[in-house]
Amino acid sequence: MLKAMRASIGYYGKAFGPYQFDRARIVETPAYRRGGGQSFPNTIAVGEGVFAWDVRDPNSLDLVTMLAAHEIAHQWWAGQVLPARMQGAGLLTESLAQYSALMVLKRLRGEGDIRLELRFQLDRYLAGRRTQTLAEQPLASAGLDQDYINYGKGALALYLLQHRLGEEAVNRALRRFVQRYRFTKAPYPRSLDLIATFRAEAKTPESQKLITDLFERITLYDLKIDRPTAVRRPDGRWDVTVPVEARKAYADGHGKERRAPLNEPIDIGLFTADPAHSTREDVLKLEPRSIHSGRQLLRFVTDRRPTHAGIDPYNLYIDRNSADNVAPVVG
C-alpha cells in the first residue's frame, strides 16, 4: 500500500498537478464499517480485510495497488476538483480515480494486470447493465449511485481514450481541468466541462467521434475472429490471414439497440502464445487496422508462425463476448 501510495503521489503530481498536503496516511478501519477504501483529506481509510489479501502471485490481480491508488487519486478527484452534485458527477470522481489507478497499476505491475483489471471492470459493467432497475445512462449523465457505469464503464472508457489519443494528451487535458477548477467555488464543474476539455485534445474527427461514443452514448461492440490461417512462403516467412467480423451498436437506456456504422482503428494482434498468458516476447504484431462493419480479411506477413490471432485482444472495447476476440491459427 505504501509503495502504491508513493507511486500514486509521484505520478499524479506530475500528470495532474501538485498534491495539496505535505503528508499522506493510511488508516486501518474495522471490517464491519465497509469493505474497501475511502478517501479523506490526506488520509485514506482501508478496511482491515484488505490487509489479508495475498497478491504475491503474479497471475492474480493486484487489488491492493488498485485500491490504494484509487483512494489516493481522490485527493485530486473530489479533493481538489469537486464536481457539481448532479448526474455525470461520477465521471469526475470515480471514473477519473479508476483511470488514475490504472496508470499507476500499469507502472507497478505491467500490462498483464491491466488486462485482468479491464476484464474485471468489463464484467462489472455488463453485469450491472443486465440487472439495473433504473434506465442506463451514458457516462456523461450516469446517476451518482450507478456504480457499474461510474467505476466499471468509466475505467474502460478512459483507458481506451488514452490508448487512442495517447496518455500524454489525456493527462494534458486533466492537468488543464485541475488548473481551471482546483478549489473552485460554485459553479462547480460538470461532466460536460470535462468532456469539452478532452475534445480540445482530440485533433481528428475520428477522435471526436470516439469521445461522443465513450461519454455521450451507450456504445457496444461485437468483435470476433474466425479461423485465422498461416501459410509458409517460399522465402520462409508466413502469410497470415485473419478473418474478422465486426459490428457496433448504440443502445438506449432500456437496452434496445440500433446498428451504428463502424469505421475505426482497432488493434489486431498476432501471438506465439495465447495472449491471455503471453509475455512481451510472444507478441509478433500488435497494430491498429481500420475496421469496418461486417466481415473482412486482414493480411499480414510475419517472420515466425503465430499460434493465435486476435482483434482487440486485450479487451479495451465494450464487447459482450470478449472470448471470441482471439482464436488459434490453423493451417
Task: List residues near Zn ion by CB under 5 A.
Answer: 94, 97
Contact present, 231 and 305 (Cβ < 8 Å):
no
Q: Which is nearer to Zn ion, 144 or 249 (CB)?
A: 144
Peptide bond into 83 cis (omega under 30): no
CA 310, 313, 319, 324 dihedral sign is positive
The residue number with the shortest CB distance to Zn ion is 97
Minimum Å distance from CB 155 to Zn ion?
11
For residues 97 and 178, which CB has a smaller minimum distance to Zn ion in the complex?
Answer: 97
Instruction: Please report how close the Cβ of residue 147 comes to Zn ion at its closest, in angstroms.
Output: 10
Q: For residue 243, list its beta bridge partners.
A: 297
Minimum separation from the CB atom of position 188 to Zn ion (A) = 18
Q: How far is the CB of 37 from Zn ion (least distance, A)?
A: 7
Q: In what order do the strands lie in the sheet with 283-292?
A: 283-292, 263-271, 308-311, 326-328
Nearer to Zn ion, 73 or 270 (CB): 73
Three-class secondary structure of residue 246 per DSSP: strand
Q: How far is the CB of 294 from Zn ion (least distance, A)?
A: 40
**Could you tell me the CA-to-CA distances from 57 to 21, 49, 53, 250 in Å, in that order?**
34, 18, 11, 39
**Shortest distance in whole angstroms from residue 75 CB to Zn ion:** 11
By C-beta, is 70 or 248 nearer to Zn ion?
70
Nearer to Zn ion, 97 or 270 (CB): 97
Q: Which residue has the cell 465521471?
A: 91
Cell numbers representing residue 180 in the block: 481551471
Q: Provide the minimum distance between the beta carbon of 311 and Zn ion in the complex, in angstroms, as a whole number.
A: 32
Compare residues 94 and 264 and give the one whose CB is closer to Zn ion: 94
Backbone φ and ψ of 298, nearest 5°: -115, 140
Buried b (16+ CB within 10 A) or exposed e, 142-155: bbeebbbbbbbbbb
Cβ proximity to Zn ion, 120 vs 250, nearer residue: 120
DSSP-based three-state secondary structure for 233: coil
